Structure formats: structure tokens, C-alpha cells
């Protein structure tokens, strides 16, 4: 959003690509050997940490991947030999996507896949010359998801755990976190309990016996804003999301196709 000239944007894409590769290599080394090149060990739950001290490498890679891929795709299509550039682009994307999957973080992996398919669908509608490329990338996404699930027991087990959670959602750890955030917002509808106070008050619910699980946040941004900032904070957050969506929609409407 800040950079407007081609050279710094291209440099940003290169730096993001290098960063993603380094973190992915470190994380995959941990997946194979139990300890990363940065000397961090796998968490007790089996989730990977990569170069970080806790289990957040999956969400970090997911957040960095999409802007990096947007920049790389844009400049790949402008190269004199776009096929070679697009091959490098696809290799980087699938390499990082696979790393997110084996990290054990299901939400970042699912959201990355969903976000990718959404972007590709929009490109197919607005950019007709890219339809064949988008279809190829879609096939690649479905292909790598299938390969990971069928060849990596860890990825398969994490997926099956999702179905187990859904069968008894409100009694699961995530369901309890959702309920706590909602309950905090209901009891403090206008102000919430204060930013970052969910993690503090969670122990009160735990001590009262109303829940059996605590965490730093409720794993749902809308409930987190409602619980910690009340209806005012939630509405402001929703307004921000709406403005971002409107900006994207206007940009798409300006595409000639």
C-alpha cells in the first residue's frame, strides 16, 4: 500500500521470497529431524515451531505468502520469459504451502487454500488471458492437498481431528473459547473486557469450572473484538473489513477483462 515505484516493490517481492524459503527450509528440517536448523524443537503437541519459540510458523508463513505471491505473479507475467518466471513462482508457492500443512496449523493451511482459490477464481473472471494459468494453478492446489493428506500421516491426523471437533463443537476447546468471548461481550456489551484481557479472565472461567480450556485468544477475530472491545469495537472492525472489501471490489470493477 505504501510503495508506489516498481523497483522497491520488486525488491520487496524478492526479499519476501527469500524470507519464505529460509523459514520453510528451517521448518521442514524440524519436521524431518525433530529440531530446526535454528535449534528449536518440535512442540509436545507435534506442531512445528520453525525458527520461532512457539507454534506460530504456519500462520506467519500464511500471512507472508499471499502478498509475496501477488508481487511475484505480477512481475512474472511481465518477464521476457514468463514461463520460466511462472515456474519459479509456482515452485515457491507450493513449497511454502506444503510447509504450512506439515506445521500442523490447520486454520492457516485451510485459509491459504481458500484464499488462493478465491483469488484464482476472481482472476479467471477479470483476466481472460490468465484463465488457463489459473486453472493449472487450481489443479496444482487440489493436487498438493491430496498428496499431503494421502502421504503424510501427520497431516491426515490433523484433518481427522477437525471432524472430531465438529461432532462436539461446543464442548471442544475451540467451542469453549468461542463461548467465553461471547459471554464476556454479553456482560460488557459496550466496552468489552479490555484489549488483551481475554487471556487474563479466561482463568476465572477455568477456576469457576465453566470451561476446561484456556488460551491467549478465542481463535475468532469477530468474537475477540466483541469480547475485548464490545459492540463498538466489533462494529469498527467490521467497518474496516467492509472498506477493504469495497476497495477490492472497486478495483475489480475497473478491470477491463
State residue 255's pLDDT score.
60
Q: Compute CA distances 177 → 16, 41, 118, 174, 182, whole Å.
A: 33, 27, 28, 5, 9
Q: What are phi and psi of 110, to 5 degrees?
A: -65, -40
On whether the CB atoms of residues 235 and 243 are closer than 8 A, the answer is no
Per-residue confidence (pLDDT) for residue 1, from 0 to 100: 61
Report the alpha-carbon distance of residue 88 to residue 137 in Å, rounded.
13
Please report, for residues 68, 92, 245, 249, the alpha-carbon distance to residue 242 in angstroms, rounded to integers and kept in the order given. 23, 31, 5, 10
Ranges of the chain whose pLDDT falls below 50? 256-257
pLDDT given at position 257: 46
pLDDT tens, 209-223? 999 989 999 999 999
Nearest 5°: phi and psi at 131? -60, -45
Question: What pLDDT, on a 0 to 100 scale, did the predictor assign at position 43?
Answer: 93
Q: Model-level pTM?
A: 0.85
Spatial distance between the Cα atoms of 157 and 56, rounded to a whole number of angstroms: 19
Site of grid cell 521476457: 80
The three cell numbers locating residue 74: 505480477
DSSP letter at 212 equals S
> 192 near 228, Cβ under 8 Å?
yes
In tens, the pLDDT along 83-134 reads: 777 788 888 999 999 999 999 999 999 999 999 999 889 888 888 888 888 8
> Could you report the per-residue pLDDT of 195-204, keeping only the tens digit for each?
999 999 999 9
Report CA-CA distances (Å) from 13 to 2, 3, 117, 194, 202: 14, 12, 21, 37, 40
Amino acid at each position: 500500500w505504501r510503495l508506489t515505484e516498481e523497483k522497491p516493490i520488486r525488491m520487496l517481492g524478492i526479499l519476501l521470497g527469500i524470507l519464505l524459503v529460509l523459514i520453510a527450509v528451517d521448518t521442514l528440517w524440524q519436521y524431518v529431524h525433530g529440531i530446526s536448523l535454528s535449534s528449536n524443537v518440535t512442540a509436545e503437541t507435534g506442531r512445528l515451531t520453525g525458527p520461532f519459540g512457539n507454534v506460530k510458523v504456519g500462520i506467519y508463513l500464511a500471512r507472508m505468502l499471499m502478498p509475496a505471491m501477488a508481487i511475484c505473479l505480477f512481475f512474472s507475467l511481465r518477464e521476457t520469459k514468463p514461463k520460466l518466471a511462472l515456474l519459479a513462482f509456482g515452485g515457491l508457492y507450493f513449497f511454502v504451502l506444503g510447509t504450512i500443512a506439515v506445521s500442523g496449523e490447520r486454520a492457516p493451511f485451510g485459509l491459504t487454500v481458500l484464499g488462493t482459490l478465491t483469488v484464482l477464481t476472481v482472476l479467471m473472471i477479470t483476466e481472460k488471458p490468465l484463465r488457463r494459468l489459473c486453472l493449472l494453478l487450481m489443479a496444482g492446489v487440489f493436487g498438493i492437498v491430496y498428496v499431503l493428506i494421502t502421504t503424510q500421516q501427520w497431516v491426515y491426523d490433523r484433518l481427522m481431528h477437525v471432524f472430531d471437533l465438529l461432532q462436539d463443537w461446543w464442548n471442544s476447546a475451540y467451542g469453549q473459547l468461542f463461548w467465553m468471548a461471547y459471554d464476556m461481550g454479553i456482560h460488557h456489551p459496550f466496552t468489552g473486557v479490555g484489549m488483551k484481557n481475554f487471556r487474563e479472565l479466561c482463568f476465572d472461567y477455568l477456576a469457576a469450572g465453566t470451561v476446561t480450556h484456556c488460551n491467549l485468544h478465542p481463535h475468532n477475530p469477530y468474537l475477540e473484538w466483541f469480547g475485548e472491545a464490545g459492540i463498538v469495537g466489533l462494529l469498527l472492525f467490521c467497518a474496516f473489513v467492509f472498506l477493504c472489501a469495497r476497495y477490492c471490489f472497486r478495483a475489480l470493477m475497473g478491470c477491463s477483462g
